[in-house]
């Protein structure tokens, strides 16, 4: 069901950049009932592949957008990643199984087509606009908002926004306009990317060949596209890549015939490892490549930008709609910085290992990886990608009031198993509980656990109360008291939820919209947990701002 536009004069969020981070942020904010304008300097979406790897966290975000089915049409689920030596012998084989978030951990994809899905998603919202061929020439922030000077196809224009989000890449005009430094380094070594239509190899999977003579990458992506990446050697120039004979020589070891190749894109680039000194200055915020850049080797630049979008959007929507204090936005930097840094470091390390050209160094690296394969536990660690840093927040929009000393869930992603509904349908957890906050109690009626004050907080914040129980119990009574009081009953079909709760003392969890566990407590402490979370985000049911809460939540729920 479409949602009504925000009232005239409602706060406006301007997003600069119609790339994946910007479009994801726009869809999330619009879905939360916020007025959004996206500014893009180009006349349309970039039409060539860039990012080619999508993880389970990103698919879960697209699920929250209601666009995952359209996105899946442009993916290769469970994509194999193999590192080999120059003779084709396997050094490492990454074939991670489903890891509990409801989606495959590695997926190949075609970015322009997924970007198109995200762009089309904005058509659902009358309060979301995209302005093409619009360049930001200057930014003037103040305590109440931001004034942007623009150059449009029709000439100069000035736009006033309550908030501005820079999703405009590594050269971000928003980041520069806010005076945010972008420390880090650019690698001296350059690489050439070739994207070829009508895949001349056709073999599935992604292969990284660590040949010290010239490391290269060969990746199958959807719809018959093949990506090649070659390390550029000393003396080779950016101009060389425009020559067909140069490209033919690069591809000769892989393809017996290069005539007639349909090359979509050829580009030389250098890996960068950078992170902004701050992600927010007053009413200005940066996300994605505007906030951090990392080498491509773990495919996490794209996915890190999507994480930024989800982490920020629900918080900004709460602030814009009067449900939280502005200090909640400080937690965006607190929560995202360490994880983005960890991804940069991992990607940089892998890139350094791949790029070794010294024969002794390459030999030592290959021996190291072959040795790992001989140790079952280490091999499993690599194959299942357990080395990938997962979001783990020690501070931020979290509460530890009422948690036990052994608690280990707060600040981490909650799993997404399949659940059963009372009408017998099998659905993913997030689809069952909705896209906003949820309080999930195992084997209990959560409404009965909350005192009157905590229940007012839950109602005011729109927190969905969920009773999780073994699926066999769903048919116990067709109209339980819990259901009559607005509690959603879900069944644990395969035991995944029960196993999660069995592993810890906590039986009640508060899930944020981004599915990070905001709090986890034994049942008796549920009310104290909610009260403290309200304090952390700066919400009070007695606050004058709550006069607008009901219409805001109606817009959110309708989305």
DSSP 336-355: HHHHHHHHHHHHHHHHHHHT
For domain 418-558, which CATH number applies: 3.40.30.10, 2.40.30.10, 3.40.50.10680, 3.50.50.60? Answer: 3.40.30.10
Query: Could you give the CA distance from residue 512 to residue 528 in angstroms, rounded to a whole number?
Result: 17
pLDDT at 423: 83
pLDDT digits (tens, 9 = 90+) for 118-130: 999 999 999 999 9
- Mean pLDDT taken over the chain: 87
Query: Could you give the CA distance from residue 51 to residue 305 in angstroms, rounded to a whole number?
Result: 11
**Predicted confidence (pLDDT) at residue 7 exceeds the cutoff of 60:** no
pLDDT at 479: 53
pLDDT digits (tens, 9 = 90+) for 508-527: 999 999 999 999 999 999 99
Confidence of residue 298 (pLDDT cuts 50, 70, 90): low
Query: Could you give the CA distance from residue 340 to residue 187 in angstroms, rounded to a whole number?
Result: 18
**β-sheet bridge partners, residue 197:** 225, 262
**Predicted confidence (pLDDT) at residue 474 exceeds the cutoff of 70:** yes
Query: Which strands form 145-152's sheet, in the order they lie side by side?
Result: 135-142, 145-152, 155-161
Q: Where in the chain is the domain with CATH 3.50.50.60?
A: 12-82+101-184+273-355
Task: Supply the angle between the helices 526-537 and 452-461 in degrees, to the nearest 10.
Answer: 50
Which of these ranges, 39-53, 168-182, 520-534, has the smallest mean pLDDT? Answer: 39-53
pLDDT at 388: 64
- Give 90's DSSP letter: E
pLDDT at 360: 75
Q: For residues 394 and 387, which has the higher predicted lDDT (pLDDT)? A: 394
pLDDT at 546: 44
Q: For residues 346 and 488, which has the higher predicted lDDT (pLDDT)? A: 488
Confidence of residue 545 (pLDDT cuts 50, 70, 90): very low
pLDDT digits (tens, 9 = 90+) for 119-167: 999 999 999 999 999 999 999 999 899 999 999 989 999 999 999 999 9
**Predicted confidence (pLDDT) at residue 1 exceeds the cutoff of 50:** no
Confidence of residue 376 (pLDDT cuts 50, 70, 90): low
Which of these ranges, 74-88, 206-220, 359-373, 390-404, has the smallest mean pLDDT? Answer: 359-373
pLDDT at 387: 57
**Predicted confidence (pLDDT) at residue 448 exceeds the cutoff of 50:** yes
Q: Where in the chain is the domain with CATH 3.40.30.10?
A: 418-558
Q: For the chain, what's the residue count?
A: 559
**Predicted confidence (pLDDT) at residue 99 exceeds the cutoff of 80:** no
Q: Which stretch, 15-24, 385-394, 415-424, has highest mean pLDDT?
A: 15-24
Is 3.20.20.70 the CATH number for 12-82+101-184+273-355?
no
pLDDT digits (tens, 9 = 90+) for 401-426: 988 876 689 999 999 999 998 888 89
Task: Give the mean model confidence (pLDDT) for residues 494-508.
Answer: 93
pLDDT at 89: 86
CB atoms within 10 A of CB 61: 23
Query: Could you give the CA distance from residue 263 to residue 247 in angstroms, rounded to a whole number?
Result: 10
pLDDT at 4: 45
**Predicted confidence (pLDDT) at residue 380 exceeds the cutoff of 80:** no
pLDDT at 374: 64
Task: Supply the angle between the helices 20-31 and 300-320 in degrees, to the nearest 10.
Answer: 30
Q: CB–CB of 160/145 below 8 Å?
A: yes
Q: For residues 83 and 523, which has the higher predicted lDDT (pLDDT)? A: 523
Which of these ranges, 44-53, 64-73, 501-510, 513-522, has the smallest mean pLDDT? Answer: 44-53
Q: CB–CB of 290/168 below 8 Å?
A: yes
Confidence of residue 31 (pLDDT cuts 50, 70, 90): very high
Q: Return the residue matching tokens 């499993």.
A: 380
pLDDT at 3: 40
Q: For residues 341 and 150, which has the higher predicted lDDT (pLDDT)? A: 150
Q: For residues 385 and 327, which has the higher predicted lDDT (pLDDT)? A: 327
pLDDT at 553: 55
């Amino acid at each position: 069901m479409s949602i009504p536009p925000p009232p005239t004069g409602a706060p406006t969020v301007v997003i600069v950049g119609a790339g994946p981070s910007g479009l994801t942020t726009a869809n999330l904010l619009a879905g939360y009932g916020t007025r959004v304008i996206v500014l893009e300097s180009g006349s349309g979406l970039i039409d060539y592949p860039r990012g080619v790897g999508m993880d389970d966290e990103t698919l879960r975000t697209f699920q929250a957008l209601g666009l995952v089915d359209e996105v899946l049409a442009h993916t290769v689920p469970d994509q194999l990643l193999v590192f080999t030596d120059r003779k084709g012998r396997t050094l490492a084989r990454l074939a991670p199984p489903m890891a509990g978030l409801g989606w495959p951990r590695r997926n190949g994809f075609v970015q322009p087509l997924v970007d198109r899905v995200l762009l089309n998603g904005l058509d659902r919202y009358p309060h979301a606009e995209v302005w093409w061929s619009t360049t930001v020439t200057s930014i003037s922030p103040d305590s109440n908002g931001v004034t942007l000077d623009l150059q449009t196809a029709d000439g100069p224009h000035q736009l006033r926004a309550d908030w501005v989000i820079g999703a405009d890449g590594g050269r971000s005009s928003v980041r520069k306009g806010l005076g945010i430094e972008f420390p880090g380094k650019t690698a001296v070594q350059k690489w050439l990317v070739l994207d070829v239509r009508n895949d001349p190899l056709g073999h599935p999977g992604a292969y990284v060949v660590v040949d010290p003579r010239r490391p290269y990458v060969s990746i199958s992506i959807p719809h018959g596209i093949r990506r090649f990446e070659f390390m550029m050697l000393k003396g080779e120039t950016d101009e060389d890549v425009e020559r067909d004979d140069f490209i033919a020589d690069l591809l000769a070891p892989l393809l017996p015939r290069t005539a007639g190749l349909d090359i979509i894109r050829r580009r030389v680039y250098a890996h960068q490892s950078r992170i902004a000194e701050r992600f927010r200055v007053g009413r200005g915020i940066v996300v994605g490549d505007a906030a951090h850049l990392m080498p491509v080797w773990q495919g996490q630049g794209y996915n890190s930008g999507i994480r930024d979008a989800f982490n920020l959007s629900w918080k900004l929507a709460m602030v814009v709609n009067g449900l939280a204090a502005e200090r909640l936005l400080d937690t965006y930097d607190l929560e995202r910085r360490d994880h983005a840094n960890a991804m940069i470091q991992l990607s940089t390390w892998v890139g350094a290992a791949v790029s070794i050209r010294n024969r002794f160094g390459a030999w030592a690296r290959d021996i190291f990886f072959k040795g790992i394969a001989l140790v079952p536990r280490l091999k499993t660690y690599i194959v299942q990608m357990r080395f990938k840093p997962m979001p783990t927040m020690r501070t931020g929009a979290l509460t530890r009031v009422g948690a036990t000393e052994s608690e280990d869930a707060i600040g981490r992603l909650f799993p997404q198993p399949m659940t059963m509904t009372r009408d017998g349908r099998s659905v993913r957890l997030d689809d069952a509980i909705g896209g906003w906050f949820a309080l999930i109690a195992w084997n209990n009626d959560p409404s009965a656990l909350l005192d009157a004050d905590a229940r007012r907080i839950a109602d005011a914040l729109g927190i969905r109360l969920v009773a999780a129980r073994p699926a066999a119990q769903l048919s116990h009574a067709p109209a339980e008291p819990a259901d009559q009081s607005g509690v959603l009953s879900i069944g644990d079909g395969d035991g995944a939820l029960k196993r999660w709760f069995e592993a810890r003392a906590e039986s009640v969890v508060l899930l944020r919209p981004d599915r990070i566990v905001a709090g986890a407590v034994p049942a008796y402490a549920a009310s104290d947990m909610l009260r403290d979370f309200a304090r952390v985000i700066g919400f009070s049911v007695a606050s004058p701002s709550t006069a607008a809460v009901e219409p805001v939540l109606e817009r959110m729920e309708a989305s």
